[in-house]
Amino acid sequence: MTILTQIVWLGGLFLEGVILVRAIQGKSFSKYSLFYVYIASVLVTSASLWVIYVYIAKPSLNIAVYWPTQYITLALGCGVIFEISRHVFAHRVTLDRLARWSMLAMFGLIFLLAAVHALLLPNWNVASDTADLERDLRVAQALVLMTIIFLTGYYRIEIGKNIRGMILGFGVYVGASVLSLTARLFIGPRFGTAWQIIQSSAYFAALAIWAFALWSYEPEPPSRPPSDPSGGYQTLADQTHQVLDSINDHLNRPAPR
């Protein structure tokens, strides 16, 4: 393990601790419970792996602990996306429902396939198959994140500082993971060291963004109809209808021959 990786590892542990302490101090743990549970699980896993690596110094034990815990953190990582979607679409019932069911179906299917492989395939390997699962999940998470960002832009949905930071941090990590896991799959073990550095640096960057964005709790902007001083919404809707009629008439007139 390189010095850089060790520094990033310890720095990551520190930032995870800071994020959790600030969440407890600012009483925001319950507001973003899925996100903080994920951070807590990564903190516990990383700290355990650090202890095993430094004090027990048994690589085989490290590997034995790493891959099973990876399943748990991967599953809890999906919770972060649920957390983001829940807050972004808090006032949009239809979009929230669509996002929730799509994510459940997509993530559920990926985990189900991984479980089927683990149970049925005779040459199933915990390391390579967990890496495959992680890549598939990261691609799915990337697609969901892009959809969420697209919908917030399309409907100009207001997002608070906390959730904006959560999206940005998780997006950076997921994007870097997708690229590095794909490169590792095709380049092979030669890419192992680079992959480790990219993964841990991207996660460190994500933690730094989260620490900054979630330093204090800021509630999501309320969804309210805009104040329209010149006649109210009903008038506007009536006018819209008249204009649509006009456009319709204009475009549906006899076409030129």
> Does the protein bind another protein through residue 21 (CB under 8 A)?
no
Is 185 a residue that touches another protein (CB under 8 A)? yes
As a whole number of angstroms, the distance between CA 2 and CA 248 comes to 67
Instruction: Output 2 or 240, the one with its CB closest to another protein.
Output: 240
Give the separation between CA 134 and CA 181, rounded to whole angstroms.
Answer: 8
CB atoms within 10 A of CB 58: 12
Stretch that binds another protein, among 102-110, 111-119, 191-199, 229-237 (CB under 8 A): 229-237
Binding test (CB under 8 A) with another protein, winner from 1, 105, 146, 194: 146
* 133 to 56, 90, 119, 138, 208: CA distances (angstroms): 29, 30, 14, 8, 26
Cβ neighbours of residue 16 closer than 8 Å, sequence gap 6 or more: 39, 40, 42, 43, 46, 207
Among 153, 188, 189, 190, binds another protein (CB under 8 A): 153
Asked whether position 94 contacts another protein by CB under 8 A, the answer is yes
Point out which span in 16-24, 119-127, 141-149, 192-200 binds another protein (CB under 8 A). Answer: 141-149
> Are the beta carbons of 18 and 12 closer than 8 angstroms?
no
Among 174, 198, 207, 211, binds another protein (CB under 8 A): 174
Nearer to another protein, 29 or 173 (CB): 173
Of 114 and 176, nearer to another protein (C-beta) is 176
Position 86 contacts another protein (CB under 8 A):
no
Instruction: From 137, 128, 216, select the one nearest 170 (Cα to Cα).
Output: 137
105 binds another protein (CB under 8 A): no
Got the DSSP string for 153-178?
HHTT----HHHHHHHHHHHHHHHHHH
Q: Which of 104/244 has CB closer to another protein?
A: 244
Contact between 188 and another protein per CB under 8 A = no
Site for another protein in 190-219 (CB under 8 A): none
DSSP for residue 221:
P
The answer to whether 119 touches 152, Cβ cutoff 8 Å, is: no
Site residues for another protein per CB under 8 A = 91-95, 98, 135, 139, 142-143, 145-146, 149-150, 153-159, 167-168, 171-172, 174-176, 178-179, 181-182, 185-186, 221, 223-228, 230, 233-234, 236-257
